[in-house]
Amino acid sequence: MAPLMPTASAFNGSLETGVRAVFVLHAHFPRAVDLNRLTAMDYLVVRTSVLDGPADLHPPTPIMSPVTQVRRKSVQSAVALMMSRGLVEQVVDESGILFQAGDNAEFFVTALQTPYLRQLYERAEWLAGYFQDYNDEAFDDLMRDLLSNWVSEFQDEASGPT
């Protein structure tokens, strides 16, 4: 008998990542964001402590590596899944392709009431407030600083104890 879903991952799959994207975009509504920013926010919404925000939603890992660098494809697939359900909409303007919460996002976000998703909602709202006045340049500068710290952390881990 073949496994039901041999390639499906229980963690960070399209559904889980898509739910995070809907919560983040709902919190940012009516603002639309590009895929790069949404990918970064997918990481930051569960790692709010890196911005001196609420405690992280997910447990710490040995290396807080820049998973945003490898998460883009996953976020892109997740957004496509959520777009097919009317939870995310694609917006095209002079800056490119952007995404915002779709018509069904409000119902979706308010209907989900598990403790984890309530905490995700609170962190998405906090993140939206944190970045409220950030333009693209300021956001990119912040991400470059965070990436620089993560690279240093990785190099320290790779070189071992001194």
- Domains of the chain, each with CATH number or no CATH: 12-156 (1.10.10)
Task: Give average pLDDT by consecutive 10-residue segment, the chain, 162 residues.
Answer: 53 89 98 94 92 90 61 91 97 96 97 95 97 93 83 59 52
Amino acid at the residue 137: E
Which helix H or strand E contains 116, and what residues bound it? helix 115-130
**CA of 122: how far to CAs of 46, 81, 105, 128, 158, in Å?**
11, 23, 16, 10, 35
Number of other CB atoms surrounding residue 67 within 10 Å: 18
Residue in the structure block whose two tokens are 């898509």: 18
Helices (H) and strands (E) in the chain, counts: 6, 2
In contact, 27 and 127? CB cutoff 8 Å: yes
HSE at residue 156, side-chain half, CA atoms within 13 A, is 10
Q: What is the pLDDT of residue 71?
A: 81
Q: What is the pLDDT of residue 150?
A: 67
Count of residues making up the chain: 162
Among candidate residues 34, 12, 15, the one with its CA nearest the CA of residue 25: 34
Kindly report the pTM of this predicted structure.
0.84
Number of other CB atoms surrounding residue 18 within 10 Å: 24
